[in-house]
Structure 1
Amino acid sequence: MSEPLDSLPDRPLRQREVTALNHADAFSLVVPVDREDAVEADTREPVVVTERLILGTDDWVKGLVYDDGWRAVESVGIDDPDEERYDAMRDCEAAVTSYDA
């Protein structure tokens, strides 16, 4: 994976981490495709996590799935984010949704 994707923790992301990624300079957008309730292993506190994401920059959109590590199941290069990003996101969402671990 590329350097920004390598920075993701080796586990599903917590909702607050998805929010933080949305504010990071590395990505233009970070969209969780699904969310599920979980509990923190050490504190037993409830938390919302996601194992399926769409990440985007001005140059690409990637659909990621956590399956013993983050895997890009779709990657779409874009030249014009205003014109191409929506379709790229739809393609990535379809790949992420249909991924069967």
Structure 2
Amino acid sequence: MDGTLDSLPDRPLREREVTGLNHADAFELVVPVNREEAVEADTQEPVVVTEQLILGTDGWVKGLVYDDGWQVVESVAIDDPDEERFDAMRECESAVAEYGQ
């Protein structure tokens, strides 16, 4: 993974972290593919996490899954985000869904 993706924590992301990534300058979009209820290990508080993400910039869209670390299961280069991003997102979402099967 490139340095930006290496900055993800080595665990599934909490819902608030996904929201934070959407507000960060590194990505144009961050979309959780799935959401699961979990319990925070330290506090035993309920939390919503995701192990599957779609990340996008103006130059690429990547489908990631957490499986003993974040792994890119699909990467699609795009030249025109307005025209190509949606199809690239669908392609990455399909690859993420197929990964778990």
Same fold? TM cut 0.5: yes
Q: Give the alignment of 1:43-62 within 5 angstroms.
A: 43-62=43-62
CA deviation digits over 1:26-77, x for unaligned, max 9?
0000000000000000100000000000000000000000000000000000
Work out the number of aligned pairs and report it.
Answer: 101
Unaligned runs of 5+ in 2: none
Note the aligned Cα RMSD (angstroms): 0.8
DSSP-derived class of the 1:47 partner: strand
Question: Are 1:34 and 2:34 an aligned pair?
Answer: yes
Unaligned runs of 5+ in 1: none
Partner of 2:92: 92
Letter in 2 for 1:95: A
TM-score (norm 1): 0.98
Question: Are 1:63 and 2:63 an aligned pair?
Answer: yes
- Partners in 2 of 1:24 and 1:100 — Cα distance? 28
- Partners in 1 of 2:56 and 2:83 — Cα distance? 14
TM-score (norm 2): 0.98
- Partners in 1 of 2:23 and 2:42 — Cα distance? 27
Q: Runs of 4+ in structure 1 displaced over 6 angstroms?
A: none
